[in-house]
Structure 1
Amino acid sequence: MALDATAVSLLVLGLLLGMAVLADRLAGGALSAVPGALRDTAVVAVLVAAAGAVFALVATDQALVAADSPVLSWAIAHRTPGLTTTAEVVSLVGGTVGTGGLAVVSAVVLFARGHRRTAVVWVAGVAVGALTIRLVKLAVERPRPPEVTRLAEETTASLPSGHALMAALGLGLTAAAVSALSVGTPRAGAIRAVAVVLAVVGAAVIGASRVYLGVHWTTDVTAGWLLGAALATTCVALARVLDARARLGDAPDHEPSARLGDGP
């Protein structure tokens, strides 16, 4: 597997993002003027750096010995007809089309409620997520687990898990949309908390189903979660910045005063 270049690029990107956050903080830059944007940028830096660490681990094949093979063996040993059916349903419903489509639906609702810039960011984020899955798979070309262990048919490369990446991205953006649309309602805090919990649990279950079905290694899913969460957080930060610029710039396409919550 030609993973070295990918691992290095991800690690360097994470380092550069972290340095950008530090420089912005020290210089009192523009990001610090937008509520939550500086924090979101720092979160993205950490997530991308963590994803780079996973790629580096996979590149040395230590992941197979330390985590991937033992976890897959454990999942196979605990398979039951009921769990298998559940995993198959979760994997089908929680596919990239399902979770990505949910984010697009949330974008449509946001657009209809006047959050036009945010809606465009959401759709663009889903498109970037889909492109990321394809490009990283082509660049890494990691083989999937042995066919004898698989309970589903897959033909693409293994890393990252597209299900995990799009689940973290799509469900995260949906949770952020629900949070934004609930601003001003009597139970906005509770609604946001429930949305975030459902997004996290949903992404976790979808990713776990892929390991259980034997079509992904654990590190495939971990990398997918990290990259998807980084993309979701980036979209939220970008939406905040655009909204702040519009409010300060007296733009004709002014959006409602309700801001995105604290992210997915």
Structure 2
Amino acid sequence: MALDATAVTLLVLGALIGIAVLADRVAGGALAAVPGALRDTGIVAVLVLAAGAVFALVATDEALADADAPVLGWVLGIRSPGLTDAAEAVSLVGGTVGTGGLAVVAAVVLFARGHRRTALIWVLGVLVGALAIRLVKVAVERPRPPEALRLAEETTASLPSGHALMAALGLTLTAAAVIALTVGTPHARPVRGVVVVLAALGALLVGASRVYLGVHWTTDVLAGWFLGAALATMCITLARVLDARARLGDSPDTAPEPAENRPDATQSTE
């Protein structure tokens, strides 16, 4: 029942966010007035709905629940000492402390560069992510794969993967901070491409390492990715909206810039 309640909560939340997006678009509200904010909030709604769907299907659909076992079986067949060492290293470096801490470091840099509001949003986002991992695990209490198949010791519940959630959240926020700090520099465009690819690849590797080590089902990782990406997108959108409001203030220094020179989502005039 707890698992069903969690799924319903996520599905309702995703639907409400989607309705809010449609309402804001029709009314031409705060989100519609900020370039990209309406789109990104819509992405949040889709990601939350996707996470809710995973929770619901794992709880009620034996076909999906059984799909986890073949993936784990395939992983067992490709295990080797080299791959195991690599997976252990990725899992260690990409732990919740590592990826969440990286986002906090990015927030410190943003704060030092004058982006205090955005830095606070980043830190709060990491804290919310860490709290969500704990609360959802306790609420769901999904068992991990059989202990005999695990290559690492874990004692908490399985769904969602905390590593996957925090990797998606922390690496995305870190990439967004780097992009914001390089806006207006000669290398802004290539830097954007590199950090986006690295963040996505890093999150994928961290999640895959958890399945390889036998400590998570594939659906645990999918749910973690969806929730982490949703929270990261929410943080970036909030920073973008608040930044736009600051630029529309009375001070001449905060007047809106031309679209081609406008700072990125996390850029702020705080």
**TM-score over 0.5 (shorter chain):** yes
Cα deviation for residue 252 of structure 1 reads 11
CA distance in 1, matches of 2:117, 2:266: 18
Q: What is the match of residue 47 of structure 1?
A: 47
Cα deviation for residue 36 of structure 1 reads 1.5
The gaps in structure 2 that reach 5 residues or longer are none
How large is the RMSD of aligned CA atoms in angstroms? 2.0
Deviates more, 1:75-84 or 1:24-33: 24-33
Asked if the contact 2:171–2:199 (Cα under 8 Å) also holds between the matched residues in 1, the reply is yes
Q: What is the match of residue 259 of structure 1?
A: 263
The gaps in structure 1 that reach 5 residues or longer are none
Deviates more, 1:54-63 or 1:128-137: 54-63
Cα deviation for residue 198 of structure 1 reads 0.2
CA distance in 1, matches of 2:95, 2:51: 21
CA distance in 1, matches of 2:188, 2:196: 12
TM-score, normalisation: structure 1: 0.95
Asked if the contact 2:129–2:231 (Cα under 8 Å) also holds between the matched residues in 1, the reply is yes
CA distance in 2, matches of 1:253, 1:126: 31
Cα deviation for residue 253 of structure 1 reads 11
Asked if the contact 1:167–1:202 (Cα under 8 Å) also holds between the matched residues in 2, the reply is yes
CA distance in 2, matches of 1:195, 1:3: 35
CA distance in 2, matches of 1:6, 1:253: 46
Alignment deviations for residues 226-260 of structure 1 (CA, whole Å, 9 cap, x no partner)? 00000000000000111111111247997xx8633
Q: What is the match of residue 65 of structure 2?
A: 64
CA distance in 2, matches of 1:253, 1:7: 46
TM-score, normalisation: structure 2: 0.93
1:1-264 superposed matches below 5 A: 2-62=2-62, 63-65=64-66, 67-250=67-250, 259-261=263-265
CA distance in 1, matches of 2:192, 2:120: 22
Asked if the contact 1:58–1:64 (Cα under 8 Å) also holds between the matched residues in 2, the reply is yes
Amino acid across the alignment from 1:103: A
Alignment deviations for residues 39-59 of structure 1 (CA, whole Å, 9 cap, x no partner)? 110000000000000001111
Asked if the contact 1:158–1:220 (Cα under 8 Å) also holds between the matched residues in 2, the reply is yes
CA distance in 2, matches of 1:127, 1:251: 33
**Matched residue pairs, number?**
262
